A and B are shown apart, each in its own frame.
Chain A
């Protein structure tokens, strides 16, 4: 039955639009008792569920972000930064130059690998974080440490690890690793939006 406002109602008086909202949005029934007993509502709801089941299946499908997405984003935003200089290893057969960004990335990942480091920063600019002149480099890292760690011990471990990693992977001489503890943290995130909000379908 079509009403004067254009909406359609069933012989029992139920609004078809409302039933459609309920089924499509998988919302709880406003009048569950009536719907359970009414043949018109039951038939309409069954029809709507069949109609919308592919959409609900799609909504329930697990989606995974592309594996390289984070790396590609990082690569792109780092390219936006200014190139801060290069360390050069001269050899008879030709020079090898290593951008400070490369050194900074190695240093950051090395610092990240130390237990007690929550987050390591090492910006790729010679004048700010990494100084490179010939074969010698000075690396500066900023650390967010786990609450409760001994910061001097953590700093010493980071200095050893960063120096060893940079030297091993680049062949450069690390003359100093300056560590700044910028924050301690240990709380839980407010939102983890990687997890879909609904754990279970709400359909009743």
Chain B
């Protein structure tokens, strides 16, 4: 497909999209869909909710594209939008106290794969139970591997605040996961 050969820089596509060309925006969506969906998935812990959040994030990006001043990369701007969208969903808002998260402590035998899946599900549950401000920092740092400075820019906080939230998130998770073992 000729369109798959497109190697235009994000900034060029953004310029075309700002001029009202949805086809250019389509290329941006294709290029960044995994970033947006993956972030939504880790923030909400649920694939259906993440699908909705990702779609809403792109539509919100299209609507507000003219407000994008391009003082950050398009990817950074998208991260900001998807974090905001996730925080507005029911799953995103849900800050469940750690003590209230239901646990399945039953280990079904020696099936390694099943145990790994169970372990991952416990992690997902524990992450979603974090306060959203801690969860956002944790997801952007550990799953998206952004730097403290990049996260600070996305969340409009200082790098020190990023460090503090990450520290609290890690302690909450340690308490939670360590308490199960």
Contact call B170/A20, Cβ cutoff below 8 A: yes
Q: How far is the CB of B56 from chain A (nearest CB, A)?
A: 9
Q: Is B132 an interface residue (CB 8 A)?
A: no
Q: Is B107 an interface residue (CB 8 A)?
A: no
Chain B residues with CB under 8 Å of A192's CB are 31
> What sequence of 0s and 1s flags, for each residue 73-98 of chain A, a beta carbon within 8 Å of any chain B beta carbon?
11011101100000000000000000
* A121 in contact with B24 given A76-B59, A80-B62 (CB within 8 Å): yes
- The interface size of chain B toward A, counting residues with CB under 8 Å, comes to 60
CA gap between A70 and B55 in the complex, in Å: 8
Contact partner, B29, options A74, A119, A195, Cβ 8 Å: A74
A-B interface contact total, Cβ < 8 Å: 159
Closest to A197 in B: B145
Q: How far is the CB of B67 from chain A (nearest CB, A)?
A: 16
Contact partner, B177, options A21, A51, A118, A142, Cβ 8 Å: A51
Q: Is A17 an interface residue (CB 8 A)?
A: yes
B128-181: which residues lie under 8 A (CB-CB) from chain A? 141-145, 167, 170, 173-174, 177-178, 181
A124-154: which residues lie under 8 A (CB-CB) from chain B? 142, 144, 146
Chain B residues with CB under 8 Å of A51's CB are 174, 177-178, 181
Q: Is B46 an interface residue (CB 8 A)?
A: no
B33-90: which residues lie under 8 A (CB-CB) from chain A? 33-38, 41, 47, 51, 54-55, 58-59, 62-63, 73-75
* A70 in contact with B33 given A58-B124, A77-B62 (CB within 8 Å): yes
Q: How far is the CB of B165 from chain A (nearest CB, A)?
A: 14
CA gap between A182 and B145 in the complex, in Å: 37
Q: How far is the CB of B10 from chain A (nearest CB, A)?
A: 6
Q: Is the interface of B mostly helix, strand, loop or mixed?
A: helix
Q: Is A54 an interface residue (CB 8 A)?
A: yes
Contact call B29/A73, Cβ cutoff below 8 A: yes
B1-51: which residues lie under 8 A (CB-CB) from chain A? 1-3, 5-12, 16, 20-27, 29-38, 41, 47, 51
Chain A residues with CB under 8 Å of B11's CB are 190
Chain A residues with CB under 8 Å of B32's CB are 193-194
> What sequence of 0s and 1s flags, for each residue 108-142 of chain B, a beta carbon within 8 Å of any chain A beta carbon?
00000000100110111000000000000000011
CA gap between A119 and B144 in the complex, in Å: 30
Chain B residues with CB under 8 Å of A120's CB are 3, 23
Contact call A63/B27, Cβ cutoff below 8 A: no
From A33-41, A107-115, A166-174, the one touching the partner chain is: A107-115
Contact call A20/B116, Cβ cutoff below 8 A: no
Contact call B123/A54, Cβ cutoff below 8 A: yes
CA gap between A122 and B21 in the complex, in Å: 8
Q: How far is the CB of B139 from chain A (nearest CB, A)?
A: 10
Task: Find the residue from B141, B170, B173 having the highest chain A CB count within 10 A.
Answer: B170
Q: Is A3 an interface residue (CB 8 A)?
A: no
> What sequence of 0s and 1s flags, for each residue 176-204 of chain A, a beta carbon within 8 Å of any chain B beta carbon?
00000001011111111111111000000
Closest to B79 in A: A193
Could you pull out 25 A-B pairs where Cβ atoms are within 8 angstroms? A20-B170, A25-B141, A25-B142, A51-B174, A51-B181, A52-B177, A54-B122, A58-B123, A63-B38, A69-B54, A73-B26, A77-B25, A80-B63, A112-B1, A112-B3, A117-B2, A118-B2, A118-B8, A119-B24, A120-B23, A122-B23, A123-B21, A146-B2, A190-B9, A193-B34
